[in-house]
Amino acid sequence: MYEGAPIEEIRGATRRTFETIIQLALSERVDFMLIAGDLYDGELQDYRTALFLTQQMAILNQANIPVFIVLGNHDAEARVTKRLSLPPNVHVFPSSKPKTHELRDLGVAIHGQSFARAAVTENLAAEYPARREGLFNIGLLHTCLSGTSGTKGYANYAPTSPDMLRTRGYDYWALGHVHERMVISTSPWIVYPGNPQGRHVRETGDKGCELVRVDGSQVQVEQYRFAHVLWEVLKVDATGAQTADEVYERVATKLQAIVARESRLVCVRIEIAGSTAAHFALAGEPDLKVKIQNVLLQVGGDLWLERVVLRTSDQATASAAEGLESLAEIRATIDGIVASDVERASLTEIFADLDSKIPAELRGEDGINLGDPAYIAGFIEEAAEELSLRVIKAGAQQ
Amino acid sequence: MRIERLHLKAFGPFTNRDLDLSNGNGKLQLIHGLNEAGKSSLLRAITNAFFGFEPQCGDDFLHNYKDFCIGAELKLDGGGEYAFERLKRTKNSLRTPSGDLLQESELQGILGVQRAVFLELFGLNHETLRAGGRRIVDGEGDLARSLFESGGLASLVSIGSALNDDARALFVKSGQRELNTLFKGIQELRAAVKSTVLHSEDYLAKEKRAREIDTSLEQARVRQSQLTMEHTRLLRIKGNKSELAEYDRYEVDLAALGPVPDLATEAPQERVAESTTLHQAEERSAELRQEVEIAEAEVATIPPDPPLLEFPAQIASLDEPTVNYRKQRDDRPALARRADAALSSAEKLWNAAFPGQDISFLETITKRAEEQTSVRQLLNQLHRIEVAEESHSKAVRDGDEELDRRNLELQALPPAPDTRILDGIIAALPNPQELARQMQKLSRETDALKESVSLQSRKLLAGWNQDADLLTMDVPSAETISRYEGEFDGIATSLRDYREKHRASSEKQSDASYRIEQENLSGNVPTQEELLAEREVRDRGWRLIRDSAIDGKFSLADAEIQYQAGTPIADAFEGHMLVADTIADDMRANSDRVVRIAELRLQLQKAHGELLQVNGEIEKLQAAESRLAAEWGQLWIALGGTPHNPREMREWCLQREVVIQRINELKAKNREREDVATVRDSARGQLSLALADLGEPPANENEPFEAVVERAKTFVAERKSDREQRKECDRRIRELELKLPKLREEVGKDEQVRISWQEEWNSAAEKLGVTFASTGQVQQFLDKLPEIVGHWSDYRNLHGRVQGIEEETKQYTSKVRELVARIADDLLSAEPDAAAGELKRRYKVAESNASCRVELERRIREARANLTLQEQKKERAAERLNVMCKAAGCSSPEELPAIEAAFAIKRELTTKLEQIARILCRSNSMTFEEVRVEADEVSSDFIQVHLNEVASEENTVAAEIESLVEERTTIRNALELAQDATAHATNVDGLQAKIAAAGLLAERYIRLRLAGAVLERTLLRYQQKYESPLLERASELFSRLTDHRFARLTTQVGEDDRKVLAAVRGGSGKLVEVDGLSDGTADQLFLALRLAAIEEHLTRTETLPCIFDDIVVYFDDGRSKTVLQVLADMAKHSQILLFTHHDHIVKLAEEQIPGQFELYWLETSKIASSAAAAT
């Protein structure tokens, strides 16, 4: 979260969305519910989430709606999972081996196996039981599916492939692990529903769950979208804009489209790009975020500005800057650093003090890694930008 | 690149002046001009032509900014040419000489440097030369860096410092910077998150224990309920036993009374009522007999009715006539006087208006209405004729007089000059009053603004540094202020919330403590012994009542003394009975109280915990507030004091904006005032000339503008008035000459009209019968006639009314005398109104006597009827008393009270027996038989032992329940608190917010530090690349400029391991630091460094013209010659312009570099060139 964020709404969004799913199950009078893992975050130690889940499952229990769950890598990590005491309508598949639940009244067989630990590298699907004839067979699996670009960037747990899934002869594969919705196949149906509520700006767009209707051999899959809070990255093209105000107007126009479309809270990151004469005015604006926030206020609606990312380049002043010998010298220095491993490695030394103080929460795979020359080199262009701006400003002042 | 020509069309002191430099190629171009000739302006002109005009350059003393225009023709190194004109515009200021737009980038591409670099290297005057040199000396002692600075990258070092400062403001290894604080905050919140995590094992263990307690509690409560029931049963039996014993005693008392007849409940009351009725009837009969006797005696005294009672209508009819008779008798004399007066007035007026004629003619003349009208019309016609005659005569007289006057006036008027030119000037003038008013208004406004600005500035800076410049001072932006305001408000709101929580928790704590105290105070639980003792007192009371009231062993008063002296025994008994019941109730309530105390202790503990947490939060917030206040104070360092809060400082900023706006307004007002003065002076000159042309004195210098205008206007107005007057005289004379003959004709016509009228008048007066001597007398008679008729009419009316009154008086007297003769002849001699009054009085007396007799006879009849009724009542009461005696079995009514008393005792005993049985049944919810059976089940000897055993076990179970409830409440509260994720969520949110903020800030720090590092390396590279060649070339030039008194320049390591520049003396080789050089030598050193840097720069870019403005001012002739030679050498490669105002520099050039320089004379009116002699 950031300063000024609508904390209550964002914090409660995931639970509110889960409640909506439960209400959908009740209103649609579904026969059962499937959850393909990662109900919790692995680091989660707080039992209150478990209590919330129990309450929601109890609602389904009262409506006689069974729930089938396989535990994913995060659930397996989470300490609360082991202590969970769920109502009798909830069936958690074992992690030792696959199990099949037959719902004879409905003509359905559900196959599944939970993760025993976070890093499951075996192909669990390969061991799933054979199809039960005469029934509608469903595979419930937490997996990183190969052969699709959509799973790139996800930990390769319980890896399997669409072909492997097809060999099981099931009618429907309900998959978990990937946060984006993906329909891998419709024959048989292989579906990642994605997570129902985006957690941050990297999980954009509307989200929800899948409502599957089966009539004989006819399968109809419908996506319900009802994320409580929407995350969006708004790209604003500043090309040709002469002034910062003109850019703000473009931002306002884009935001107005969102406000006209959405009545719920939209958390928006604004990326301004393009070649513009207003580049230095924007880059040199110390309160750019405040300026953009003012635009949000003027536009109205339920919007929260997550961040402003400026990727503009200069149009006219670039030519003036070219004339500055100092900038040429700076560019030459940067080129030298980029080209030399030794130079880049030496940069880590200047951050030793900071490195020793960085809290663990800021480190990690996507976090701050000051011991890595490549990480620091990633900032070199931004540093060059900062320098150029200051040099040009100093020139203008003289 | 060279400047071939400069066209100074409008700039500074120049207007359409050209400078042709095309003939100086390869030579030093020496531009000579005296002081104020425009040398400095020329340097600014060249700079502005190249890089655009600066917003407020101050060169607008002759030309307005909008008119600025400088043209230039350049010859490029590659042989090309480039011509342009520079205007003062915010954009599109560059164009070709023919007016087409040029791209700025094109010219900047040719120049290859920014304005700062150009001024630093290529546009030097003595001041900038020295300042640059001083920077070299002061610039950390590193020559390369200093040269780097002077080479156009002056800002890089300060940028590096700024970057490092900015980075250090974010983070230092040990300190309290923004990032350090955030890291610390993350640590704290991490711990806070950990402390608020709900661990599943804890939650589940508590939940299990809560269930176990519920089970134990249920069992204990069942047992407690059983014990309570048994306790209640034993207490009930114990109480019932004493009640039953009392019941038995009453039964014995009842048997002792023997047989007593049953009487009706109301028998004693009936007996008393009948006896009373009998007695009252006897008394009333006697009273009625006496009343009859008295009334009959009164009737006998009233006289019989007189005969006048038979004439009530006739007597009554006398009332109204009596009144009329009196009134008319009174009015008649006054009416007669008024009639006489009216007649007298009429006769007087008639005789005056128409003397000699009897008033009886009045009746005749009032009937001749038509004749009166004719006479009145002729009188009116005569009036009109007289008016016309007077008017026509007067017109003829006036016309003659005016004709004579106009002719004289015309002859006296002077000739008129032509004032049209002056009139035109006046018409085109601005309103002088308006001008004066504007001037006054502008003066007032500027004075007020000046004072306001001064006052507001002082007010705004009150308490701060009064010398601070409001216009240029650095103040935080509105967004920054808003951000701080938000942060301050946020902390204040949180503090308020936590203080409210603190108050609420304190109240909860106090409330729980108070309630526990109250529970403990009310905890004087009565004991079993106290209950038994109170019941014993109650029983003793009942025994005393029974012994006194029933058994009659002693009186009730004695019983009261024995039981509770001073209180009626029944009340005392009832009081003790209530106390005994209350004690039993209190004992049952005690177990509930114990449970309440346990719950209250838990509340107390919870409130204490909340208080501790809230105190911690308040301390944290107060610390944050202090930190924020310190940062806030830093932002306002420019004010030299401690700022107010952001809201007030925003207001301060707004006020500052207002002051700045006022300052700008003041400037505008001053300009406006000057404009008005110019307009006024111009108008004054025109007026003065025009007045002189008309022979009037011209305006002298001391004559105010308004007076000149007024004089001119008066002059024009007077001449105009003369012309108008002449014109008017001519017109009027012509009119009169036409009009006068016509008026004289009208006078003749008037005489004919009067003759005709006289004839008509004579005829009309005769018809009316009024032949007076003059028309005036006729008019007077006719005017008086209505008044005479009015008086005559009044006389006639009043006279009639007097006659009527006399007739009515006669009729009334006759009527009265007739009635008196019939019924009261003794009144025949009385006046009619007195006789009528006496008749009426006699009638009223007779009527009253008759009425009194009737009333007495009615009362006698009523008394006799009532007497009969009383006799009947007496008989009925005696009969009822006999019936009662029969029922009670006695012979006379006197025996009845004793029998009734015995029956009352019997009834009271029966009631008590029924009451005890009813109480026992109701309090035990059993039948009387069941109560007796239950009481018989337990022996009286052992009942107290059983009670003690049960009470002991009850206490044990209550303690157990209290303990379980307490534990259960604690666990339930803990579980409830655990489910409330607010604190945990707040901590998590806070942690995430800090992580996000720290991430952004850390990235910012990385960028700044990285930028700083890149800059450091850039400077290092530059040093390595350029230091040696620069120093070498500067050494050569310096040695040459100092006539080799100094051999070279060198660097040495000074303090802090920094390089320091030093000069090496020729011969001795002694090192002299820059501060040790004379001013002239230092100037030569600075010049050498600059020339070396320029040469180095020109090797890498397009050549640029170098302009030196009086840089040799401190050089002796020898060194000046050397400089001239060096510059002449440089001029072979690039354009060198040397400005000077010294003639001897020109002479030195002629001596030192003949043929190598071109001389130009600079004047603001012209720029001439002349080739110097090359000898």
**CATH number of the domain that residue A139 is part of:** 3.60.21.10
For residues A239 and A279, give the distance between their C-alpha atoms in angstroms, rounded to a whole number: 10
Closest CA to B132 of B1004, B1085, B1034: B1085
- Is residue A333 located within the same domain as residue A310? no
Mean pLDDT of A82-95: 87
Name the closest residue on chain B to residue A85, using Cα atoms: B204
A211 and A316 co-located in one domain: no
Tell me whether B91 touches chain A (CB under 8 Å): no
User: Quick check: is A1 in a domain?
Assistant: no
Compute the distance between CA of residue A77 and CA of residue B514 in angstroms, rounded to an integer: 50
Same domain, A147 and A86: yes
Of residues A250 and A338, the one with the higher pLDDT is A250
Chain A interface test: which of B178, B485, B1006 (most A C-beta within 10 Å) = B1006
Report the residue from B203, B996, B1005 with minimal CB separation from A2.
B996
State whether A300 and A362 are in the same domain.
Answer: no
| Chain A contact for B1026 (CB, 8 A cutoff) | no
Residue B155: the pLDDT is: 59
B1049 beta partners: B1063
Per-residue pLDDT for A1 more than 50?
no
Tens-digit pLDDT profile for residues B679-690: 888 888 888 888
Where is the domain boundary, A321, A348, A381? A321
Indicate the residue of B180, B199, B1006 with minimum beta-carbon distance to A376: B1006
User: What range does the domain containing A263 cover?
Assistant: 229-321
Question: Are the Cβ atoms of A47 and B199 closer than 8 angstroms?
Answer: yes
Q: B interface mutation test: which of A293, A326, A353, A392 has the most B CBs within 10 A?
A: A326
Q: Measured between CA atoms, how close is B90 to chain A, in angstroms?
A: 14
Domain co-membership, A95 together with A190 = yes
Question: How far away is chain B from the Cα of A8, in angstroms, using its nearest Cα?
Answer: 9
CB contact under 8 A, B1010 and A316: no
CB-CB neighbors (< 8 A) of B175 in chain A: none
Q: Is the C-alpha dihedral spanning B554, B558, B564, B569 positive or negative?
A: positive
If pLDDT is split at 50, 70 and 90, which confidence band does A395 have?
A: low
**Nearest by CB: B197 against A45, A287, A367:** A45
**B198, closest residue in chain A (CA to CA):** A46
Residue A271 lies in a domain: yes
Q: Tell me if A95 is assigned to some domain.
A: yes
Place of tokens 């700006």: A201
Number of domains in chain A: 3
Between chains, do B152 and A325 touch, taking CB under 8 Å as contact? yes
Q: Are residues A134 and A237 in the same domain?
A: no
Helix boundaries (H) for chain A:
7-27, 48-62, 73-77, 79-83, 162-167, 244-261, 279-283, 288-299, 317-322, 325-339, 341-347, 352-357, 373-377, 380-397
B154 and A398: CB-CB below 8 Å? yes
Q: Is position A50 within any domain? A: yes
Q: Which residues, other chains included, contact A205 with Cβ-Cβ below 8 Å and sequence gap of 6+? A: A198, A230, A231, A232
Q: Which residues pair with B74 in a beta bridge?
A: B3, B82
Q: Compare all CA atoms of chain B with the CA of A10 and give the residue at the minimum distance.
A: B989
Window 218-257 of A, Cβ < 8 Å to B: none
- Full-prediction pTM beyond 0.90? no
Query: Under an 8 A CB cutoff, do B1002 and A368 touch?
Result: yes
- Identify whether A38 is part of a domain: yes
A372 in the same domain as A335: yes
A329 contacts B1018 by C-beta, under 8 angstroms: yes
- Say yes or no: A174 and A34 in one domain: yes
Interface touch A46/B984, C-beta < 8 Å: yes
Q: Which among A241, A295, A239 has a CA at the least distance from the CA of A268?
A: A295
Residue of A nearest to B181 (CA): A357
Name the closest residue on chain A to residue B1023, using Cα atoms: A329
Q: Do A313 and A338 have their domain in common?
A: no
pLDDT of residue B678: 83
- DSSP H/E element including A324: none
Kindly state whether residue A346 falls inside one of the protein's structural domains.
Answer: yes
Give residue A167's pLDDT.
Answer: 94
Structure tokens at B177: 């910077």
Tens digit of pLDDT for each residue in A309-335? 888 876 655 545 555 667 778 888 888
Nearest to B848 by CA among B302, B475, B146: B302
Given A286, A291, A329, which is nearest B1018 (Cβ)?
A329
Q: Cis link prior to B832 (omega < 30° from 0)?
A: no
The domain boundary, picked from A296, A321, A346, lies at A321
Contact B1003 A379 (CB under 8 A): yes
Could you give the C-alpha distances from B393 to B381, B736, B737, B755, in angstroms and in order? 19, 15, 17, 18
Q: Which of A200, A225, A250 is the last residue of a domain?
A: A225
Q: Are residues A146 and A23 in the same domain?
A: yes
How far apart CA A176 and CA A69 sit, in angstroms, is: 11
Q: Which positions 325-384 of A are in contact with B (Cβ < 8 Å)?
A: 325-326, 329-330, 332-334, 336-337, 347, 350-351, 353-354, 356-359, 361-362, 367-368, 370, 376, 379-380, 382-384
CB pairs under 8 A between A and B: 184
What's the rounded Cα separation, in Å, for the pair B291 and B279?
20
Residues A182 and A273 in one domain: no
Chain B residues within 8 A of A329 when measuring between CB atoms: 153, 1018, 1021-1022
Q: Do the chains contact at B197 and A11, CB–CB below 8 Å?
A: no
Statement: residue A121 has pLDDT above 50? yes
* Chain A residues close to B158, C-beta within 8 Å: 394
Cα separations in angstroms, B439 against B338, B378, B444, B674, B700? 87, 76, 8, 9, 21
Cβ B200–A291 below 8 Å, yes or no?
no
pLDDT at B149: 46
Counting residues of chain A whose pLDDT is more than 90, the rounded percentage is 49
- Residue contact A379–B1007, C-beta within 8 A: yes
Query: Which among B155, B201, B1003 is the nearest to A391, CB-wise?
Result: B155
Asked if A380's CB is within 8 angstroms of B1010's CB, the reply is: yes
Closest-CA residue of A relative to B1097 is: A325
Task: Give the residue ranges of chain B where pLDDT is below 70.
Answer: 35-37, 136-155, 320-322, 415, 521-526, 528, 587-588, 590-592, 594-595, 598, 773, 1023-1028, 1051-1060, 1067-1068, 1100, 1163-1175
Selecting from B108, B153, B984 the residue whose C-beta is nearest the C-beta of A326 gives: B153
Residue B1072 phi/psi, 5-degree rounding, is -125, 120
- Candidate from B114, B991, B997 with C-beta closest to A323: B114
A61 part of a folded domain: yes
CA distance A243 to B867: 127
What would the pLDDT profile of A184-209 be if each residue is shown by its tens digit?
999 999 999 999 999 888 889 899 99
Residues A208 and A138 occupy one common structural domain: yes
Chain B, residues 959-1018, CB within 8 A of chain A, namely 978-979, 981, 984-985, 988-989, 991-993, 995-999, 1002-1003, 1005-1011, 1013-1015, 1017-1018
Mean pLDDT of A5-31: 89
Q: Which residue of B has its CA nearest to A48?
A: B979
Specify which residues A186 forms β-bridges with. A189
Q: Is residue A395 part of a domain?
A: yes
Nearest-CB residue to B187 (from A326, A359, A368): A359
